[in-house]
Each structure stands twice: as structure tokens, then as C-alpha cells.
Amino acid sequence: MKRIIQLVILVVIQLWMMSGNSLALTVEDYLILSNISGYKFVTQMKDFYTDEMKTITGYTQGNHSGIIAGTSHFSEDHSDITYKTDYYNQPLQVAISVQVTQHTGGDSDQWLLHEVERGFRRGDVEEYMTPSRFRAIDNHNFFYSGLGGGTYRWISDNLVVNIEYVDLYKQKPEPLEVVIAYLNKFPSTISAIAIDQAHDEQWIKDEMERRLWLGDKWFAWQEAGNSDVAETLREVNRNIEVFLNYREKYFGINADLEKESLYTLISNQNLQGMKDKLAEYKSWWATNKSGSINLP
């Protein structure tokens, strides 16, 4: 109950902060609630039970981190707002899904660009990025994947835009009218990126840094009385394990024994022991992060 009350208070405060004047922003500030060229804003759908068409609002909204939630984006201390809508081109038989997430501008947002890129990297531990996955339209840079259709994703300050469509056989034109409309509404703030080995190396190092940072965030969250020992140990361990996987892959240090020691700490509910291990890894990283890594 305490946590629910805290999140409700955070939502109210963040809505006020984002608007500059309490609750001034509406869904229209985030989504285009009208047709875009040949793509119709979807406000009708077939009822599952009656098979008849019914009117819908055409959008959803919720307090979550949207497309980057799966990157372990830390959102425990705030509540991001995600809006979603769909468009449909009847002649082309193409459905477009648009998701816009307003992040709060907190310290977690320092990793937004990094987390957005993570969804477009490939390899066992996201070790490489191909130039074709970074595109531009009218000097607006964005990440792109043509897998199974198309995904377009960018940041505009502390806002994330994600546009997707399905075309398994690659027979349909890209929905660039929709992409351009949202680029005009939310201009990309991603600078040009040279997709090369130096960029891959820096991204990997940033990910290792972020995982240690996430460990610190979870401990701070627990110390403030917002997370129990079991949850904290679980989340810190999850991020440390990712760090250890990268360290093994790129610095040649076997992770198995370290992971076993972490499991023992979890079994014993040893919070201080886990803090000590995190401090140990942070110290190692401070000494070694300037060195080169072994990219494939």
C-alpha cells in the first residue's frame, strides 16, 4: 500500500512537472488522432462477441516505460507515461502501431539513447550494430530494423517514439508518411552516429557501466524503504550477472565462480555481502574500463 501511494504521488507530481501547468497536456500532445495520408486513424473495431463494428477511442495510455521497459530501465522511483495508437491502410492491407512514451527527465533518462539502441544490436551480448540499422530522413536520425516488416525508433529529448508495421514478405511500401508525420511532431534529438568498431566498443562499455549503476540504484531504493531484501538481491544480481557476462566475453575473466558466490549471497539473504561484491566490481571497472576489449 505504501508503494502504491508513493507511485500515485509521483504520477501527480510528474504530470505537473511535464506540463509546466498542472494537467495541461493531453493525449493530442503525444499522438496524431487523425488520418495520416492514406493511413486511417483506427476508431472502429469488430466486437469479439457480436462480430459487429463498434466505436473505440483509438488510443490507450498507461503508466509504464513503454518499448524500453525490457532493457531494465529503472522506473521504480517515477512513473513514465506511454500512449499507443494504430493506423490502417486498407488498399495496402498494412496496420501501423505507434507508441510514444514521455519519460520524466530523472537520472534514469541519461541512458535513454543507449537503451533505445539496445533493441537494434545483435549478437549474444549485443556486440555489434550494422550501419543499415541507423537511418535519417530530412536530417532526423533514427534506429531502424526491417525484420518482419519495419521498426522505427528515436528519442526527442526525454520522449521515445516507436513505430512498427508487419510485412513478412517485404512486398509493401514503408509507411514513411506516418514516420515523417511523427518526426515533424517530435523531431529526433539523436546526433549522427558512425556505426563502426569504436562505436560498438563504447556501447558495450556503457552497458557495463549502466549495469553497475543499476545495482547502486536498487540499493538506494531499498535503503529508502521501498524494496525488500529479496527483491533487491534479485534485481542487483540480475544486473551484476549481465556485467559479468560482458566481462567474461570481452575481458576474458570467467564468470562461473563469481555467479556461484552471488547465488550463495541470495540464498543467505546477505545484503551487505552483495553490496561488497558490487563495490568490488565497481573498483575493478574503474581500473579497467579505459582498456581495449576483444570485439569479434
Check: CB of residue 132 under 8 Å from CB of residue 120: no
Give the model's pLDDT for residue 9: 46
Give the model's pLDDT for residue 8: 46
Query: How far is 71 from 118, CA to CA, in rounded Å?
Result: 7
Query: How far is 98 from 163, CA to CA, in rounded Å?
Result: 5
| Of residues 174, 213, 198, the one with CA closest to residue 72 | 213
What DSSP string runs through 164-212?
EEE-TT--S---HHHHHHHHHHS---PPP---SHHHHHHHHHHHHHHHH
Whose cell is 490502417? That residue is 88
Question: In 2-67, which ranges are E strands?
Answer: 40-41, 44-46, 53-55, 59-62
Query: How far is 42 from 29, CA to CA, in rounded Å?
Result: 18
Give the model's pLDDT for residue 3: 52
Residue with the bigger pLDDT between 92 and 17: it is 92
Per-residue pLDDT tens for 127-155? Answer: 778 889 999 999 999 999 999 999 999 99
* Poorest-pLDDT segment among 12-21, 95-104, 152-161: 12-21
The reply to whether the predicted model has a pTM over 0.85 is yes
DSSP single-letter state for residue 36: B
Burial grade of 245 (CB within 10 A; 0-12, 13-18, 19 or more): middle
Question: In the chain, which ranges are E strands?
Answer: 40-41, 44-46, 53-55, 59-62, 81-89, 94-102, 134-137, 140-145, 149-156, 159-166
Give the model's pLDDT for residue 23: 44
Reply yes or no on whether the pLDDT at 7 is more than 80. no
Span 100-117, average pLDDT = 95
Check: CB of residue 147 under 8 Å from CB of residue 120: no
Query: How far is 82 from 100, CA to CA, in rounded Å?
Result: 6
Query: How far is 148 from 120, CA to CA, in rounded Å?
Result: 14
What confidence category does residue 294 fall into, taking pLDDT thresholds of 50, 70 and 90?
A: confident
What residue type is 77 in one-letter code? Answer: D
Residue with the bigger pLDDT between 128 and 109: it is 109
Percentage of the chain lying above the pLDDT 70 cut: 91
Span 185-192, average pLDDT = 98
What confidence category does residue 17 fall into, taking pLDDT thresholds of 50, 70 and 90?
A: very low
Give the model's pLDDT for residue 199: 93
What confidence category does residue 36 fall into, taking pLDDT thresholds of 50, 70 and 90?
A: very high
What residue type is 10 in one-letter code? Answer: L
What confidence category does residue 46 fall into, taking pLDDT thresholds of 50, 70 and 90?
A: confident
Per-residue pLDDT tens for 66-77? Answer: 999 999 999 999
DSSP single-letter state for residue 152: E
Query: How far is 250 from 232, CA to CA, in rounded Å?
Result: 27
What confidence category does residue 22 fall into, taking pLDDT thresholds of 50, 70 and 90?
A: very low
Q: Which residues contact 289 (CB under 8 A, 6 or more apart)?
A: 205, 208, 209
Per-residue pLDDT tens for 243-293? Answer: 999 999 999 999 999 999 999 999 999 999 999 999 999 999 999 999 888
Give the model's pLDDT for residue 16: 41
Residue 180 is placed in which grid cell? 515523417
Reply yes or no on whether the pLDDT at 18 is more than 50. no
Residue with the bigger pLDDT between 47 and 204: it is 204
As a whole number, the mean pLDDT across the chain is 90
